[in-house]
């Protein structure tokens, strides 16, 4: 028997790093893991002391919010270059969101045409739409649903009423499918933005106050209670303060299914320190808050964060160069920085960086979205989606990124590690310089068997 | 020294009943309390083994929602006959609510003209109104503010937006003044009522489902979180399920100022048992839920209920005789039944009825609204607002009530006690048959020094 | 009607001080309480703005451990001069403890002959004694039982085995009677003392280490678990560290009846600060620990201390003047310093001193030992055992004390208050200078109806 | 590269069973794990769908309590036949316990001569012995220390005083070494046995009451508190009731290092059901209690049981055939039944039996005693100590066991699985019928790096 591929290095296994080890791949699956001498294979790579980790599963990507379904191509190319082998794509596509089986079919077709990495999909429900499309979408393999309490766009990213939220929760209550939410109280945010504009404010320093923690937390509490009333899994896709995770934890303690997610920029940036330099380049919603970084890492070590994602958005930089912060697009590119940025910050916090990175970026999102054990772990039988992470410091330069966007809030930031190689289903997809695989080699990934509240 | 008045009987003191006791009154205050032989006095009453309790403080009355400010007259007359010596009146007066000092002055003038019992006042803020009237109203003596998350009337009882709620909480955050809320999510309730109507439902059995617990609880969670964010005291004026009190308790445990209140009808009626008989006569909002009575008593004994009130509304019965439950007015008369109904139900639950009655109907509301120790307790120096409660069973008959309304959901119910006498400031105001005092003898009561989170 | 006695002043009532008030006494009971003008009486005293409090109930006194039953005379005389109107006397009398009805009868007879103040009694069980005397002693009125895990004297104060402890707990499990314990592990203490002696140590600084917290806490845990196993009320008569109260609290949280007591010297002295001055004069068992004062006050404010007592022992000073600390008697006189010392220290801690003093020295011990509501509160029908506490600073001087002992660890300490008068059953027993009442005027007090876990 | 050994089957990996899998061994270590086709090897075994698990680590064995050090031979032979590849042997050897380096050296020599399986060692301290031998024993590799609060034998298994316990805890406080305890209060047990004898009781039904839960729990609480005081790791080697685990958990919650262990017989037998059949054959100390089986499984699923062991004792059956239960030896043979009995009972409880079995019998004891990751898991680099567990039902028959004892409380019990093969360091040691390896092939195992409170 000869394996298709053998990779040697420090494997980051579910219970920690194993040095001088190897894994072998057959037919796109990990079929053996060993220590010491490696067996023969048709192809091999020796990573030396570098880390070999499961490909990252980014739980929150917006591939198609700007360029529509073809946006999958550049987004997934960037993913591969960032060591991300599966993205969980949000439903708010341009011009219309994924809310029917027809739209699902179109998006799956686009994945088959464009995707460099694997793609799992969120679905949504539009205002006025009944619940009859939910079950077919679940049958079609969506991993979760998402709605918003704030209208970012009436056609693409609308606000869902309390009544419809309750209906969706009720429809999902007998399933393991989470309902995620973009959690901002629309009345507060609109009033505060109007007030800020009236006062002539227009810089990033006015952004957090215009969408205050109270707006985020009240929407969160309201959503969690509706989920509790219906008995469904309520998931907050981004929480920017420790109080948010305390809220989620209260619901858990009361016996309800609730979870909260973090994005890597909340763990890196502080508007007071970085706002003057970055301006709209760090505008995301809900906003990054001053003085929260250490508290949010505390939530991670306390086990209260479901997983960490990129919330990657494919906005061109023009979208950011607006006279007023309130006209700038919200969101940042992030697929190529997610892994090195998270690892580096974990190291700064004094954590066991390889272990916590694999936990938060690979295993936990895979379990959450029903993709484990095929994704998210170096274990027997898992898909051979793999990333080689070199202990090679780098300064981030978005002009060398693979997303065609050419900007990033991380520009100039030091990372302690570098993505050296990415394998998809056992084939080399990125060699540290170029994305080598072809559009369409990534696959549509349906929800499998794992779930969060087992 | 001769006292103005001496009353003998079983005094229900703060630490329990004291038999064969007496209290003495001078200049409208309790100036002595004794056991055994009583001193001389200009007037005296011997209640024998009946209870002498502090006059009830009803924390939630709607005196003026139907007949406007003159409604104070019949409402407070009914209060006196019910052993209630102080009402805390809600701001939603007809035709316009109490939201300015000018309106406060008008209402205080109406109290001076009409009130048989003492009256403390809630204020409110109207949509679009700024925060500049809040401080003057506090200076003017209002004991709390109330708003609603549901529009019962655009001019009298409007919905307040999240943004304005947050502003009010912020304005109150440095004070001990609670912000109360009528807690129902408007979107859910409106949609559910429309759906029920579309299905041709029109009876009381459709009422609770049309305003489901989820609507009440989501509004509650949202409100509590805004209060927490601002650091203010958030008060839920009625919770109909144990989950509601659990929510309030979570906020308390997290270090925030939160409280929840019960009304006596939630402790007495069940729509499944009583709906067929009572129909719209038991319609209140949020609705009385099936199967909650024992659980809510559990919350009382666990100490998680701030206090119990009547939520008395002065609707004529015509308001209830509508073809559809959805057109019927919400609310019930309750000032004359509050005390005997609560006492009787406490006894049925096996509790120490006189002690828990004084606690929930007298001492706790008095402390809550800043009226203690002048009100709410038989103690030295307190106002001589007193009620004699006879251990004389009665069957309730609203035709003999003093509120001019001539209907009650309690008609035909057995009470184990009867209000025998009511004294206001040491003067006999009710003798078991007739209200003896004059309109205007009740006083406007300003917020004093006690507060809930001492 | 004319009262026997009226006292005016600032009455410290169960819910706090009431200025310009009075109480009236008839036939030895408090029969009226008032504010403002006082009624006529055969005798009266005006305390002005000084405090009038319920007579102190000292929950832990050793009246007869040195001089035998006649020791009651000087001990209770000292009590009266200290504002203590009831002592709960320990059973370890010289030469033999109170463990039978015969011994109870003798002690009650001695009380009738000697007592200046009221006396309630602890009983005990001797090694080898069966359980058959327990019920008769309860019938005879003992308020609690006490045993020791350490042998202070084989005949007077012996160690009780685990087996016998379990038997006693079992015998008490269906009652409300607490079993108290002197809680020190004998093996550890004996070994440590032997080791200290072998090392030539002999000063107070070696005392705490020779009976380390571990010895105290292990005996405590062992005792609490036996009580839990039997379902009886386990009471630790002195805990010297916050950990001890945490232990007690764990048992309470697990649903068992457990309590812990403090003595005032643990709240005043620190061996590191006071040891060089006081030496054996501050030797008590378990020892006063370094650095615990603030933590123990924290336990009081957290409500985890059942009550505070004196642990008064009538040792002559010769008993302390020994070459080695290990030969010195343990225990201190304390009945005359308990009240002013506790009040002063509470004030230093920034607490509401009159309220917390009445709570910890009067009401709580009275409730604990079944003496409430006759003792422990100024309330209608209570016994007129009263103390006038003047806001007059004093420097303690044991040479003026009334206990014939002429020494105290408090000598030279500043107290912010002074015991001005003590009344027993409505009669003046101490006038600030001399004890006026006669031996035998104090009564034997049997356990009544109150109990701790109601 | 050719492996020494390949085993195919359903591998029970740390995160669950993996079917159709294999592991490869080189030089006694697991060097590769795979799924599907297996590589070549000098030896191979195909277990089909049977389980391949890590060799069991029995955390509590008494190999030498009867036959002295040579007892290692038959005990470890039995272990191998039971799928146990490492025993943690207790120090109470006949005629003298392991309490010095000299004794350690003798026992290690005996292991080298006699052991069929690996052996880790507990040490102890004898009455009167100083602490000077503790550090050398730790250097010598003992994995834990054990003492008893009850004297089973003055020379072999003595009671240790509180004082000495505290000294041992103090000596261990800076280490990760646990101090285990046989937890029974000697005074209670001796008194109760004397009483039972006096009443003429002599059957197994009197056993539990003669050593009541109170005796066990009071000794447990006392021991835990001493450990807490010293800051050391306190381990209870057997707890027979859920209350015991609650106690341990309270100490954990208070921040102290505490753990509790179960033995498999507490999870299988009930004296009321099994006593009449088994009599002294089920006598162990502390006794098996009536009605505890389900509650104890509840502790396992709640994660409050450190691990499950056999408490194997090598008593000949004569030791049990005594006229009185009080004269019978305590303890049962258990190495050959531990694995199938635990697995079977877990299955009956509806648990995921292979996973929970590996967790409780392999991984957790290995982590506890510092033997992980070399022992306790099928993972890269671990020692190739492996057991093949066939899904083949059997009825236990001790006459076919390998321990020379020829009796067992499990005789006639149905097990759902059978130990099919045992490998030690990659070599076949048991083939389902005969123990194949030689005395001395088992090794002395020193404490390594893992510890419980990491």
State residue B335's pLDDT score.
98
Contact of B43 with chain A, judged by CB distance below 8 Å, is answered with no
Whether residue A146 sits in one domain with residue A219: yes
Structure tokens that stand for D400 in this block: 């076919």
Please tell me the distance from the alpha carbon of residue D339 to that of residue B435, in angstroms, as a whole number.
84
State residue B304's pLDDT score.
97
Q: Is residue B376 part of a domain?
A: no
Q: Is residue A44 part of a domain?
A: yes
Please tell me the distance from the alpha carbon of residue D34 to that of residue D40, in angstroms, as a whole number.
12
Whether residue D175 sits in one domain with residue D89: yes
CATH number at residue A386: 2.30.40.10
Whether residue A318 sits in one domain with residue A343: yes
Nearest to residue B188, comparing CAs of A363, A166, A91? Answer: A166
State residue A14's pLDDT score.
94
Q: How far is C-alpha B118 from the geometric centre of its chain's CA atoms? A: 13
Q: Do chains C and A touch (3 or more CB pairs under 8 A)?
A: no
Structure tokens that stand for B79 in this block: 């209060």
Residue B75 clears pLDDT 90, i.e. is over it: yes
Q: Which residue in the block uniquely carries the two structure tokens 């195909």?
A: D46
Neighbours of B203 (CB within 10 A): 12
Cβ-contact A254, A248 below 8 angstroms: no
Structure tokens that stand for D297 in this block: 């499984």
CA distances from B188 to A369, B193, D15 (A): 29, 9, 44
State residue A454's pLDDT score.
79
Q: CB distance D15–A14 less than 8 Å? A: yes
Cβ-contact D261, D235 below 8 angstroms: yes
Which residues in chain D are contacts of A39 at CB distance < 8 A? 1, 32, 39
Q: pLDDT tens across B81-116, in order?
A: 999 999 999 999 999 999 999 999 999 999 999 999
Whether residue C344 sits in one domain with residue C201: yes
Q: Is residue C79 part of a domain?
A: yes
CA distances from B105 to B61, B76, B109, B126, C70 (A): 19, 19, 6, 17, 74
Cβ-contact C11, C25 below 8 angstroms: no
Look up residue C206 and give its DSSP letter: G
Q: CB distance C229–D214 less than 8 Å? A: yes
Nearest to residue A120, comparing CAs of A310, A370, A440? Answer: A370
Look up residue A359 and give its DSSP letter: I
Buried b or exposed e, range A153-168, using 16+ CB within 10 angstroms: eeebbbbbbbbbbbbb
Structure confidence at residue B1 as a pLDDT band (50, 70, 90): low
Residue B372 clears pLDDT 70, i.e. is over it: yes
Q: How far is C-alpha C15 from the geometric centre of its chain's CA atoms? A: 23
Q: pLDDT tens across B10-58, in order?
A: 999 998 999 999 999 999 999 999 999 999 999 999 999 999 999 999 9
| pLDDT lower than 50: segments of chain D | none
**Extended strands (E) in B97-183:** 118-123, 144-148, 179-182
Whether residue A409 sits in one domain with residue A335: no
Q: Which of C320, C346, C368 is the last residue of a domain?
A: C368
Q: Is residue A448 part of a domain?
A: no
Nearest to residue C166, comparing CAs of C244, C265, C252, C234? Answer: C234
Rounded to 5 degrees, what are φ and ψ at B446? -85, 155
Q: Report the number of distinct structural domains present in chain C.
A: 2
Chain C nearest CA to B170, separation (Å): 31
Cβ-contact A307, A236 below 8 angstroms: no
Please tell me the distance from the alpha carbon of residue D202 to that of residue A258, in angstroms, as a whole number.
57
Contact of A33 with chain D, judged by CB distance below 8 Å, is answered with yes
Which residues in chain B are contacts of A188 at CB distance < 8 A? 162-163, 166
Chain C nearest CA to D239, separation (Å): 14
Kindly give, in sequence order, each residue whose CB lies less than 8 Å from that of residue B267, ignoring residues fewer than 6 positions away.
Answer: B293, B296, B297, B300, B308, B342, B345
Largest CA distance in chain C: 73
Q: Is residue D199 part of a domain?
A: yes
Contact of D28 with chain A, judged by CB distance below 8 Å, is answered with no
Q: pLDDT tens across D239-279, in order?
A: 999 999 999 999 999 999 999 999 999 999 999 999 999 99
User: Which subunits have 3 or more CB–CB pairs within 8 Å of chain D?
Assistant: A, C
Nearest to residue B404, comparing CAs of B56, B77, B84, B32? Answer: B77
Please tell me the distance from the alpha carbon of residue D379 to that of residue A187, in angstroms, as a whole number.
55
pLDDT-wise least confident of C152-161, C411-420, D311-320: D311-320
Neighbours of B29 (CB within 10 A): 18
**C438, C440, C442, C444 alpha-carbon torsion, rounded to 10°:** 180
State residue A292's pLDDT score.
97
Look up residue A90 and give its DSSP letter: -
CA distances from D6 to A335, A405, D22, D343 (A): 42, 51, 7, 25
Cβ-contact A12, A33 below 8 angstroms: no
Range list of H helices, D25-176: 71-81, 101-114, 134-139, 162-172
Q: Which residue in the block uniquely carries the two structure tokens 């030791």?
A: D319
Range of the domain at A397: 3-52+381-430
State residue B314's pLDDT score.
85
Residue A205 clears pLDDT 90, i.e. is over it: no
Sign of CA dihedral A274, A275, A281, A284: positive
Q: Is residue C444 part of a domain?
A: no
CA distances from B248 to A213, A444, B224, B227, C257 (A): 20, 44, 8, 11, 29
DSSP notation for A179-220: EEEE---HHHHHHHHHHHHHTT--SGGGHHHHS-HHHHHHHH
Q: CB distance A187–B163 less than 8 Å? A: yes
How many residue pairs bridge chain C and chain D with CB atoms within 8 Å of each other?
88
Q: Do chains A and B touch (3 or more CB pairs under 8 A)?
A: yes
Sign of CA dihedral D397, D400, D403, D407: positive
Q: Which of D213, D214, D222 sits opposite C218 (nearest CB)?
A: D222
Whether residue A119 sits in one domain with residue A101: yes
Contact of D222 with chain C, judged by CB distance below 8 Å, is answered with yes
State residue C1's pLDDT score.
65
Whether residue A223 sits in one domain with residue A209: yes
Please tell me the distance from the alpha carbon of residue B172 to that of residue A402, in angstroms, as a whole number.
52
**Radius of gyration in angstroms for the set of CA atoms belonging to chain B, rounded to a whole number:** 21
State residue A151's pLDDT score.
97
Kindly give, in sequence order, each residue whose CB lies less than 8 Å from that of residue C139, ignoring residues fewer than 6 positions away.
Answer: none
State residue D404's pLDDT score.
86
- Reduced to 3 states (helix: H, G, I; strand: E, B; else coil), residue D95 is coil
Pairing of strands B118-123, B144-148: parallel
Contact of C15 with chain B, judged by CB distance below 8 Å, is answered with yes
Q: CB distance C221–D219 less than 8 Å? A: no
Neighbours of C42 (CB within 10 A): 11
Structure confidence at residue C364 as a pLDDT band (50, 70, 90): very high
Rounded to 5 degrees, what are φ and ψ at C207? -70, -50
CATH number at residue A255: 3.20.20.140
- Reduced to 3 states (helix: H, G, I; strand: E, B; else coil), residue D247 is helix
State residue C454's pLDDT score.
79
Q: Which of B11, B34, B379 sits opposite C32 (nearest CB)?
A: B34
User: Model-level pTM?
Assistant: 0.94
A contact residues 266-325, partner D, Cβ 8 Å cutoff: none
Structure tokens that stand for D397 in this block: 């028959």
**Extended strands (E) in D378-439:** 386-390, 394-395, 414-415, 418-424, 427-430
User: Which subunits have 3 or more CB–CB pairs within 8 Å of chain A?
Assistant: B, D
Q: Which of D322, D341, D368 is the last residue of a domain?
A: D368
Q: Do chains C and B touch (3 or more CB pairs under 8 A)?
A: yes
Cis peptide before A121 (omega within 30 of 0): no
Q: CB distance B225–A228 less than 8 Å? A: no
Top residue of C33, C362, C374, C378 to mutate, by most chain B CBs within 10 Å, is C33
**B337, B339, B341, B342 alpha-carbon torsion, rounded to 10°:** 140
Whether residue D60 sits in one domain with residue D43: no
Contact of B399 with chain C, judged by CB distance below 8 Å, is answered with no
- Reduced to 3 states (helix: H, G, I; strand: E, B; else coil), residue C258 is strand
| Chain C residue with Cα closest to B11 | C380
Contact of C49 with chain D, judged by CB distance below 8 Å, is answered with no
User: Bridge partners of D58?
Assistant: D87
Chain D nearest CA to C223, separation (Å): 7
Angle in degrees, CA D357, D359, D365, rounded to 5: 110
Q: CB distance B31–C26 less than 8 Å? A: no
Structure tokens that stand for B154 in this block: 């655009």
Please tell me the distance from the alpha carbon of residue C1 to that of residue A25, in angstroms, as a whole number.
105
Q: Is residue C172 part of a domain?
A: yes
State residue A1's pLDDT score.
65
State residue D314's pLDDT score.
85
Q: Is residue B447 part of a domain?
A: no
Whether residue B402 sits in one domain with residue B362: no
Pairing of strands B179-182, B144-148: parallel
Structure confidence at residue A337 as a pLDDT band (50, 70, 90): very high
DSSP notation for D110-130: HHHHH-SSEEEEEE---TT--
Which residues in chain C are contacts of D173 at CB distance < 8 A? none
Structure tokens that stand for D266 in this block: 């507490």
User: Bridge partners of C121?
Assistant: C89
Which residues in chain C are contacts of B381 at CB distance < 8 A? 18, 35
Q: CB distance B39–C36 less than 8 Å? A: no
Chain B nearest CA to C1, separation (Å): 7
Q: CB distance C14–B18 less than 8 Å? A: no
Please tell me the distance from the alpha carbon of residue B368 to that of residue B347, in angstroms, as a whole number.
25
Pairing of strands B3-13, B41-54: parallel
How much is the average pLDDT of B133-139? 98
Whether residue B71 sits in one domain with residue B17: no
Nearest to residue C312, comparing CAs of C96, C69, C71, C149? Answer: C71
Contact of B252 with chain C, judged by CB distance below 8 Å, is answered with no
Please tell me the distance from the alpha carbon of residue B364 to that of residue C211, in angstroms, as a whole number.
49
Angle in degrees, CA A120, A125, A127, rounded to 5: 155
Q: How far is C-alpha D407 from the geometric centre of its chain's CA atoms? A: 19
State residue D454's pLDDT score.
78
Whether residue C390 sits in one domain with residue C347: no
Whether residue D63 sits in one domain with residue D48: no
Burial class (CB in 10 A: 0-12, 13-18, 19+), C298: middle
């Amino acid at each position: 028997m000869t394996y298709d591929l053998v990779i040697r290095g420090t494997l980051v296994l579910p219970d920690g790093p194993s040095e001088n080890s190897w894994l072998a791949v057959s037919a796109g699956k990990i079929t053996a893991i060993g220590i010491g001498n490696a067996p023969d294979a048709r192809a091999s790579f020796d990573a030396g002391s570098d880390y070999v980790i499961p490909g990252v599963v980014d739980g929150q990507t917006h591939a198609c919010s700007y360029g529509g379904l073809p946006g999958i191509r550049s987004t997934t190319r960037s993913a591969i270059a960032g060591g991300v082998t599966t993205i969980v794509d949000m439903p708010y596509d341009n011009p219309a969101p994924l809310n029917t089986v027809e739209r699902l079919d179109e998006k799956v077709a686009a994945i088959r045409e464009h995707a460099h990495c694997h793609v799992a999909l969120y679905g949504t429900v539009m205002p006025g739409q009944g619940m009859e499309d939910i079950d077919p979408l679940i049958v079609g393999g969506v991993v979760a649903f998402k709605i918003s309490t704030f209208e970012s766009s009436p056609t693409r990213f609308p606000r869902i009423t309390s009544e419809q939220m309750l209906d969706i929760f009720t429809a999902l209550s007998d399933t393991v499918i989470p309902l995620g939410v973009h959690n901002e109280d629309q009345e507060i945010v609109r009033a505060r933005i109007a007030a800020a504009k009236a006062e002539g404010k227009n810089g990033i320093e006015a952004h957090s106050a215009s969408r205050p923690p109270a707006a985020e937390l009240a929407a969160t509490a309201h959503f969690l209670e509706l989920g509790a009333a219906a008995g469904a899994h309520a998931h907050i896709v981004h929480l920017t303060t420790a109080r948010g995770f305390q809220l989620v934890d209260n619901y858990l303690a009361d016996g309800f299914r609730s979870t909260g997610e973090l994005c890597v920029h909340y763990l890196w940036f502080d508007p007071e320190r970085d706002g003057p330099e970055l301006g709209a380049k760090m505008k995301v919603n809900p906003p990054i808050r001053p003085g929260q970084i250490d508290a949010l890492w505390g939530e991670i070590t306390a086990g209260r964060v479901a997983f960490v994602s990129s919330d990657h958005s494919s906005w061109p930089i023009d979208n950011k160069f607006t006279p007023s912060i309130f006209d700038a697009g919200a969101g940042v590119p992030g697929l190529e920085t997610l892994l090195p940025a998270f690892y580096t910050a974990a190291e700064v916090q004094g954590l066991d960086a390889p272990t916590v990175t694999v936990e938060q970026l690979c295993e936990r999102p895979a379990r959450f979205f029903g993709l484990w054990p095929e994704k998210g772990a170096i274990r027997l039988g898992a898909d051979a989606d793999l990333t080689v992470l070199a202990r090679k410091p780098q300064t981030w330069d978005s002009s060398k990124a693979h997303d065609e966007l050419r900007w990033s809030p991380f520009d100039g930031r030091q990372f302690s590690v570098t993505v050296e190689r990415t394998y998809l289903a056992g084939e080399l997809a990125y060699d540290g310089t170029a994305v080598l695989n072809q559009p369409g080699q990534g696959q549509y990934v349906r929800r499998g068997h794992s779930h969060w509240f087992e």
